[in-house]
Structure 1
Amino acid sequence: MSEFDRGFAAMVAEMPCVQLGEVNEAAALQTRIDRKYVVALDLLDRLDFDEHVMVLEIDTRRHFRYATTYYDTKERDLYLDTAYRRPTRFKVRIRSYVDSGLTLLEVKRKDGRSKTVKSRHPVATGEELSCLTPSMRAFVNAEVDTGLTDRLCIAATTRFNRTTAVDTVVGARYTIDRDVRADTPDGHIASLTEAAVVETKSSGVPTPLDRFLWSQNIRPASFSKYCTAMAILEPSLPANHWHRTLNRYFGRHEQSASHEETSG
């Protein structure tokens, strides 16, 4: 275990805990303003949470494994909508909460006013689908007005470890994602090295964590796990919004047996 892991893990272990139901009551935030930051790992040891901020705990766990499979067209229409900053855009993904076994189909969309709206639909655990089923397509079509649904197939899967905290006073939720990796069906991998992704989710007003990060001269980044990874995995895609993150943090390499055994 690294010095970073010990420092961050020790801080999280000492925080008061909150259960999932309480998080949903206090800061469900399915419609919200998201601010994302890509930060060096050693900054996590210095995160300055107020005393009332609590960490999500489920079955004694405070760090959780996620796997998220993103769907797109072969022409990468959904990627391009984000790359070109189209005001109304969406992502379709299947998110697996690895430690709990919960799997959900999610439609995550921008509503034209910079707010993120997320809708969910249950999926059978362990169901691996190269393309969406008819019921999944019907769900997507009910959420967004698009003609692309029938053409959506797996583009990439991201995997990461997440810690979630909630500030019940300001009604905000914070996530810290580490060990971010992405892989494609043809076996290529992109990995985020020496950095973590910190995200604040609120109704719009800057949170105390936003202000702390700003005090460290860290500003919100134009960042999407899916889009940043795809820009590495498919270099022909436009990636102007993510050049700084790509050049500083991401690397691309081939699928390996050790990854297959450990990625979960």
Structure 2
Amino acid sequence: MTPAVPSSLVAALGLAALRGATLAEVDAAAALQHRTDRKYLLPVDRARLLVEGLSASHHVLDLGGRRTTGYLSTYFDTEGLGAWRAHVQRRRRRWKVRTRLYAEDGLCRVEVKTKDGRGATVKHALRAPTHAYGRLDEHAAEFVDGVLRTAGVPVTTAALTPAAEVRYVRAALADLDHGSRVTLDGHLTCHRDGRTAALDPGHVLVETKGGARPAPADRLLLRLGARPVSLSKYIVGQSLLTPSLPGNDMRRIARAHFTTRTEPVPSPERTTAA
């Protein structure tokens, strides 16, 4: 089972009307590993207006006719949820460690995200075997430890265990001329210990990824009445699914757009990339 039926997001956002771009084209123009991210929670109807407004300058990532991808991400944290606490306390040295599976393609990566001295996000990634999703083997641990050590984060993989899984369906838009990207995530859920937190299906999470100055997408979002929010999928999930954690601004935002429930979480089908 992938996180949701991708075609519904394609139709809801009007993605079929955009020009397509290959993964190689998007990576060549807009594979930003050192970037400024801005996030917005947007009703689906306004997200469609955003897509329409960007159609002249942006392409949609098209993978052999498929315009969305199912993502599954297992986040790792310390026993005391050090990554969660560093984020909600807005510490300078924030970090996240996860394994990510691209469901339809069976591709897996180990990713480490940190903040630099200017507050920009720096992402490091390592390709991993599909069967390694959800765990950190010796090779992955060496990679993660090296990135965290270089970033000055006093944590090693020996202290990390799987803390939550996030699932969603993503569409990716890219301005091939100027190197900025926009992602739209729908059918977003977070899972921990048999409980699920789900984003209202009438909303999508929009992220702009570019330089320090707002991109055209940010200016269009402003005209559509959207304002940036401080929101992390993992942080929201933990905030809602672990009641013992202290209250925080993100939990208050999340309660207006997310619901929680208790139910078995089916294992996703994982295909092997050709």
| Preserved contact between residue 170 and residue 207 of structure 1 (Cα < 8 Å) | no
Distance 1:243 1:13, change over 3 A: same
1:18 maps to 21
The change in CA–CA distance for 1:234 and 1:254 in structure 2 (over 3 A counts) is same
Aligned-pair CA distance for 1:233: 0.4
In the alignment, structure 2 segments of 5+ residues that lack a partner are: none
Q: 2:46 aligns with which of 43, 47, 57?
A: 43
Q: 1:64 aligns with which of 42, 60, 69?
A: 69
Scaled by the length of structure 2, the TM-score of the pair is 0.88
Q: Match of 2:212?
A: 204
The 5 Å alignment of 1:209-220 reads 209-220=217-228
Structure 1 vs Structure 2 CA RMSD: 1.9
Do structure 1's residue 255 and structure 2's residue 263 form an aligned pair?
yes
**Worse-matched range after superposition: 50-59 or 157-166:** 50-59
Q: Percent identity?
A: 34
Alignment partners' CA distance in 2, 1:31 and 1:77:
23
Corresponding letter in the other structure for 1:188: R
For 1:86, the equivalent position in structure 2 comes to 91
Distance 1:60 1:142, change over 3 A: same
1:231 aligns with one of 228, 232, 239: 239
Report the counterpart of residue 249 of structure 2 in structure 1: 241
TM-score by length of 1: 0.91
Question: Equivalents in 2 of 1:209, 1:12: separation in Å?
Answer: 16
The within-5 A match list for 1:149-228 is 149-184=157-192, 186-193=193-200, 194-228=202-236
Change (3 A) 1:262 1:91: closer
Q: How far apart are the structure 2 equivalents of 1:66 and 1:91?
A: 16
Query: Are the counterparts in 2 of residues 174 and 199 from structure 1 also a CA contact under 8 Å?
Result: yes
1:72-108 deviation per Cα after TM superposition (whole angstroms, max 9, x unaligned)? 0111001000010011111000010111111000001
Residues 187, 255 of structure 1: 8 Å contact kept = yes
Q: How much has 1:134 moved relative to structure 2?
A: 2.4
- Conserved in 2, the CA contact under 8 Å of 1:107 and 1:119? yes
- What count of residue pairs does the alignment treat as equivalent? 257
Match of 2:111?
106
Gaps of 5+ in 1: none
